[in-house]
Amino acid sequence: AQSVTQLDSQVPVFEEAPVELRCNYSSSVSVYLFWYVQYPNQGLQLLLKYLSGSTLVKGINGFEAEFNKSQTSFHLRKPSVHISDTAEYFCAARAGRRALTFGSGTRLQVQP
Amino acid sequence: SQTIHQWPATLVQPVGSPLSLECTVEGTSNPNLYWYRQAAGRGLQLLFYSVGIGQISSEVPQNLSASRPQDRQFILSSKKLLLSDSGFYLCAWTDPQGGSYNSPLHFGNGTRLTVT
């Protein structure tokens, strides 16, 4: 079965500090991987996606993620966060024809 | 450009009352459509998806149903709401032309449903 695990439910960080949000997936076949961001009382917006090719994927708002097949991870990073990055972040995976599976989310709290 | 509309934004309903949430997509044809539920502190749970008019697949057994009466309209319904139906409901679409397996989901702004 396909599953996505986000190891941290909350990540507090100070403004301008770097941040990494962790995501691990399990799948016996090739996967497509996504990170979404959700601001309060809104739907989800796509940050970035990994389909194939380069394992380092750059997204919007200065975020990037690295696909690591051996560790089955797709961690999200930003070198310097802003207050406006405070939101919930969801990792998601799709293997083949299966529906998209979401992790439980990580709440990023950027403090001044 | 494509847009997705979901309404109402918030809804408070008593237990046992009916429910109808509507979602429409503009600017695309024959989209794949999805209903997700997001319970407090939890991830997104896929409830229904549709690849065409009148074609509905249910992912989990529940008190809810979905219908697709038109190509770009997706409706989530219930005859009698339960307390456990409270949550944040999100409609989403993907472009089947781009290959549905790697196409990202495009989400509406969601409906916050509180069952009292």
More confident: A97 or B40:
B40
Whether B108 and B23 have beta carbons less than 8 Å apart is answered as yes
For the segment B93-112, the average pLDDT, to the nearest whole number, is 78
- Judged against a pLDDT cut of 90, whether residue B11 lies above it is answered with yes
- Parallel/antiparallel/unpaired status of strands B87-94 and B111-115: antiparallel
Contacts of A94 in chain B (CB under 8 A): 101-102
Across all residues in chain B, what is the average pLDDT?
89
The closest alpha carbon to B74, from B100, B94, B53, belongs to B53
Best of B58, B101, B103 to mutate (most A CBs within 10 Å, chain A): B101
Residue B71 has pLDDT above 90, yes or no: yes
**B79 to chain A, closest Cα gap in Å:** 25
Q: Which residues of B touch A90 (CB under 8 A)?
A: 43-44
| Residue A65 with chain B: CB contacts under 8 Å | none
pLDDT at B94: 87
* A 46-65 near B (Cβ less than 8 A): 46, 49, 51
Which of chain A's residues have a Cβ under 8 Å away from the Cβ of B47?
A: none
Residue from the list A42, A46, A102 with its beta carbon closest to the beta carbon of B44: A102
Q: Using one digit for the tens of pLDDT, what is the confidence trace for A69-91?
A: 899 999 999 999 999 999 999 99
> Dihedrals φ, ψ of A37, to 5°?
-120, 140
Write out pLDDT tens, residues B46-70. Answer: 899 898 999 998 887 678 999 999 9
Phi/psi at B96 (5° precision)? -65, -20
Q: What does the pLDDT read at residue B115? A: 95
CB contacts of A96 in chain B (<8 Å) are 101
Contact B109 A104 (CB under 8 A): no
pLDDT at A84 (0 to 100): 94
Note the pLDDT tens digit of each residue in A11-68. 999 999 999 999 999 876 778 899 999 998 788 999 999 988 889 999 999 999 999 9
- Identify which of A44, A51, A104 has the shortest CB distance to residue B102: A51
pLDDT at site B99: 53
- Do the chains contact at B110 and A41, CB–CB below 8 Å? yes
Long-range CB contact pairs, B6-11, < 8 A, 24+: B6/A43, B6/B90, B6/B91, B6/B108, B6/B109, B6/B110, B6/B111, B7/B111, B8/B111, B9/A41, B9/B109, B9/B110, B9/B111, B9/B112, B10/B111, B10/B112, B10/B113, B10/B114, B11/B111, B11/B112, B11/B113, B11/B114
Provide the percentage of residues in chain B whose pLDDT is more than 90: 67
